[in-house]
Amino acid sequence: MAVYNGQKAVQGHLLDVAKACALAAGRAPAVSHRLEIMTEILTDEDIHPIIDVLATLGENSAFQLHDAVALKALADSGKLPPILLIGADLTKPALWDCGACGFKTCGEYLKYTSRNKGVGVGCYGPSCVWKAIDFGTACDFACACAAQHRVEARIMFSIGAIAMLLGHLDEASMVLGLPVGPSGKNLWFDREAWKDTLSFEQKMMTQMAGGPTLSMAFSGGGNPILKSKPRWWEDPTFLKVEQDATFVEKDVNCQAKAYEKIMRYRGVFGDEDIPE
Q: How far is the C-alpha of 152 from the C-alpha of 135, rounded, in Å?
A: 21
pLDDT at 246: 93
Asked if residue 104 and residue 179 are part of one domain, the reply reads yes
* For residue 172, pLDDT beyond 70: yes
Supply the pTM of this predicted model: 0.85
Q: Looking at the 3D structure of the chain, how many domains does it have? A: 2
With a pLDDT cut of 90, the percent of the chain lying above it is 49
Q: Clarify whether residues 36 and 167 are in a common domain.
A: yes
Domain carrying residue 48: 6-196
Give the model's confidence band at 79: pLDDT under 50 very low, under 70 low, under 90 confident, else very high. Answer: confident
Residue 217 pLDDT? 57
pLDDT at residue 230, as a whole number = 77
Place 35 in a pLDDT band, splitting at 50, 70 and 90. confident
Determine the pLDDT at residue 4: 75
Whether residues 139 and 72 share a domain: the answer is yes
Residue 191, C-beta contacts closer than 8 angstroms, at least 6 positions apart: 66, 69, 70
Write down the pLDDT at residue 209.
Answer: 66
pLDDT, position 149: 93
In this structure, are 93 and 150 located in the same domain? Answer: yes
Looking at the structure, tell me whether residues 252 and 165 fall in a common domain.
Answer: no
Residue 1 lies in a domain: no
User: What's the Cα-to-Cα distance from 29 to each of 24, 34, 133, 135, rounded to whole Å?
Assistant: 10, 11, 10, 10
CB distance 159 to 84 below 8 Å: no
Residue 160 pLDDT:
95
User: Percentage of the chain with pLDDT > 70?
Assistant: 89
pLDDT confidence band for 90 (50 / 70 / 90):
very high
Position 257 in a domain: yes
Per-residue pLDDT for 158 more than 80?
Answer: yes
My answer on whether 226 and 90 are in the same domain is no
- Decide if 88 is inside a domain: yes
Q: Per the domain annotation, does 230 fall within a domain?
A: yes
Q: What does the alpha-carbon distance between residue 174 and residue 91 come to, in Å, rounded to a whole number? A: 9
275, pLDDT greater than 70: no
Last residue of a domain, which of 141, 164, 196? 196
pLDDT recorded at residue 54: 94
Q: What is the pLDDT of residues 196-234, one digit of tens each?
A: 777 777 777 677 666 655 555 556 566 777 777 778 778
Of the residues 147, 162, 196, which one is the last residue of a structural domain? Answer: 196
For residue 135, pLDDT beyond 80: yes
Average pLDDT over residues 70-82: 90
Other C-beta atoms lying within 10 Å of the C-beta of residue 220: 14
Q: Considering the domain boundaries, does residue 185 fall inside one?
A: yes
**Model pLDDT, residue 11:** 82
How does pLDDT run across 13-27, given as a tens digit for each residue?
899 999 999 999 999
Res 59 pLDDT > 90? no
Instruction: Based on the fold, state whether residues 236 and 129 are members of the same structural domain.
Output: no
Give the confidence band of 164 by pLDDT, cuts at 50, 70, 90. Answer: very high
The strand pairing partners of 7, in sequence order, are none
Residues 6+ apart with CB under 8 A from 188: 70, 152, 153, 154, 179
Q: What is the pLDDT of residue 232?
A: 77
At residue 219, the pLDDT reads 60
Specify the pLDDT at position 260: 92
For the chain, give the mean pLDDT.
Answer: 85
Q: Which of 174, 196, 218 is the last residue of a domain?
A: 196
